[in-house]
Amino acid sequence: MNKDLSNYRKSYEKQKLLLAEVPDNPLQLFQTWFYEVDNSGTVDEANAMTVSTMGLDGFPKSRVVLLKKYTHEGFIFYTNYNSEKGKAIANNNHVCLSFFWHAAERQIIIKGTAEKIAENLSDGYFESRPKGSQLGALVSNQSEVISRTELEEKLKALEKEYKSKPVTRPKHWGGYIVKPVEIEFWQGRPNRLHDRIRYQLQKDYSWKIERLAP
């Protein structure tokens, strides 16, 4: 197998990102970019993001999850705490989030620390999910080896069990908030002279803002 991709090229020319025009707080710029992308109609799931962790086997691993909320404190997503990513976070809670919105020629890279959110917040989100998704959280011992047949049989059994009663959030499932310490905004530009603006959190909770070479 041999496929040469060296001629795959694109010129990025849609937007620009100037140091003199960015806000003091990166969360404000994140919100602006997110709204612009989400309202553009060019991205199916603007909240899809890559979460990278350092695995127990010593290798980094990345996977796509859905951002469910962002606040002035950070970025919230939900998962099985006993999953591979959950175990990795328990061992080393330094994580990286990244968004790549190809149609907007934009990327955001976020370094931060992941912490479990309060149980009542996880309860509230779990209750808002469709019942099928709730049962899915009960069915799956996420990241464990399983057959498709076994998975579907477990779901059928739970559908019968919970046919006429609500599903309670399992304790091993809930949310994380990633509190950022560094956020980089990347805007594609012509001739590969891309705009890269980096925010770094300081001890007084202000943000140091710098332009990086592309």
> Active-site residues: which are they?
192
Residue 120 CA, distance from chain mean position: 21
Name the DSSP letter for residue 102: G
Q: Which of 112, 76, 81, 73 is nearest to 96 (CA)?
A: 112
Q: How many CB atoms lie within 10 A of CB 9?
A: 7
Residue 178 Cα distances to 7, 97, 213, angstroms? 38, 8, 26
What is the C-alpha separation between 33 and 187, in angstroms, rounded?
11
Secondary structure (H, E, C), 130-189: CHHHHHHHHHCCCCCCCCHHHHHHHHHHHHHHCCCCCCCCCCCEEEEEEEEEEEEEEECC
Helices 131-139, 148-161: axis angle to 10 degrees equals 130
Residues 164, 168, 173, 178, CA torsion sign: positive
